[in-house]
Structure 1
């Protein structure tokens, strides 16, 4: 296996090279347009992603390349722990989406806004737009900008106002604040980016920004997070949902209103009371 890194803003991870449909062409292009891809899909088309997409990689995210064939790479994503593989979340991405791992790994910073501009020089036009939860190593700071290390041994700048140090202290309220940036965003199966989130993708992405590397999927999150009594859950904790004899299938942030979550395909990210039909499957609570 070899080390690589995502060199596009968002690379969708697929179950196999044969999984993408014609409508998915913008997502697998050498320069993917994930925003246009998400916009092009109606609810029925989004439902068709089940069994096709798994997760997403963000710019600069490291991967282990297990094999390559026909322009595709079989990868493991170590920043996304999974019970499917001890080395990281497995799947397939276009090989054109991968480059050399950034040389620096110190002082990581995370994008805390929906979209941040990556610039060749401070204040210049954008080279590309980076998604929320993108994490890069910082090299230097100057006049309100941070220089970051990129794949393929490149460097560029991001405004400090779009960043936080992932090692900075965080409080529970930060999870609600960051998650609320995406209220109204349409649910996307396998989404971990600004352009679409699923339930566990929301919890994973927010945690990444706050310096916590947790599993990608809800049932794995339930297995590793600190378990707390349901009656002790407070805003910023998480609720887990499941049915008898089945694994956990849903997760959301506990909020003052009830729960902040990406509910399901066809719906949008919302902060709402915990409805009776949800309470029927509420099985556990966890603390980050």
Structure 2
């Protein structure tokens, strides 16, 4: 086994090297275009991701490589805790998406806007567009820019206004503000990036920006987080949903309106009242 890092802005994690379809080519290319991939899919095509995609890695995210086959790497993602594996979330990614770990540095910062430009020097052309939720170690701060360690051993710059210092205490108001950045974003099974989120991906990625490392999947989040009575929830807490005799299948942020959540394939991220069919499957709540 070896430890490496994602060297592309967003790498989608698949169930196997055989899982991607022809339409998924932009996502598995050596230089993936996840935005174009997401835009190319209609609802039926997105439904076809069930059983194919698992989660996503963001730039600089560490992974453990267990094996390699035909240009693919079998990995686990330790920043995404999972009951499937004690080391992290398991799956497969193109080996071309992986590179050296960033140089050790201090004061991690997270991208706290949907997308921001990574540049070689302050104010120069973009090297890449980094997604919300990307966490990198900072080296220095100069005139409104932060220098960060990159996955190829070099360094780059991000604007201070696009970042949040990870160790800043989190508030429920900030949790909802960050989640609301994606209102109207189309649901993406396995999504943890600005180009698409699923229900637990929203919770996981917002929490990452706020310095909280929580499980990736809804049922694991329900098991791991501090439980609170449903009738004592506050905005920023979590609602969990399950059908009788089944494990938790959905999660959302409690909001003043009802719930901020990525609903399901074919719908968009929304902040809405709890519908009767949702209330029928509301089984638990938790506090971050």
TM-score (structure 1 length as normaliser) = 1.00
Deviation of 1:34 (Å): 0.1
1:111-130 superposed Cα distances (whole Å, 9 cap, x missing partner): 00000110000000111100
Q: How does 1:238-257 map to 2 (within 5 A)?
A: 238-257=238-257
Question: Quick check: 1:30 aligned with 2:33?
Answer: no
Deviation of 1:106 (Å): 2.0
Q: Which SS does the other structure have where 1:121 is aligned?
A: coil
Q: How does 1:173-252 map to 2 (within 5 A)?
A: 173-252=173-252
Match of 1:274 in 2: 274
Match of 1:44 in 2: 44
1:74-116 superposed Cα distances (whole Å, 9 cap, x missing partner): 0000000000000000000000000010111421000000001
Deviation of 1:251 (Å): 0.1
* In structure 1, C-alpha distance between the alignment counterparts of 2:18 and 2:232, rounded to whole Å: 46
In structure 2, stretches of 5+ residues that fail to align are: none
Q: Which SS does the other structure have where 1:152 is aligned?
A: coil
Q: What RMSD in Å do the two structures reach over aligned CA positions?
A: 0.5
Q: How does 1:59-98 map to 2 (within 5 A)?
A: 59-98=59-98
Q: Which SS does the other structure have where 1:251 is aligned?
A: strand
* In structure 1, C-alpha distance between the alignment counterparts of 2:187 and 2:167, rounded to whole Å: 29
Deviation of 1:152 (Å): 1.7
Question: Which aligned segments of 4 or more residues in structure 1 are displaced greater than 3 angstroms?
Answer: none
Deviation of 1:280 (Å): 0.1
TM-score (structure 2 length as normaliser) = 1.00
Deviation of 1:220 (Å): 0.1
Match of 2:170 in 1: 170
* In structure 2, C-alpha distance between the alignment counterparts of 1:164 and 1:2, rounded to whole Å: 30
* In structure 2, C-alpha distance between the alignment counterparts of 1:50 and 1:106, rounded to whole Å: 38
Deviation of 1:159 (Å): 0.2
Count, aligned residues: 288
Deviation of 1:169 (Å): 1.2
Aligned partners of 2:105 and 2:139 also within 8 Å? no
In structure 1, stretches of 5+ residues that fail to align are: none
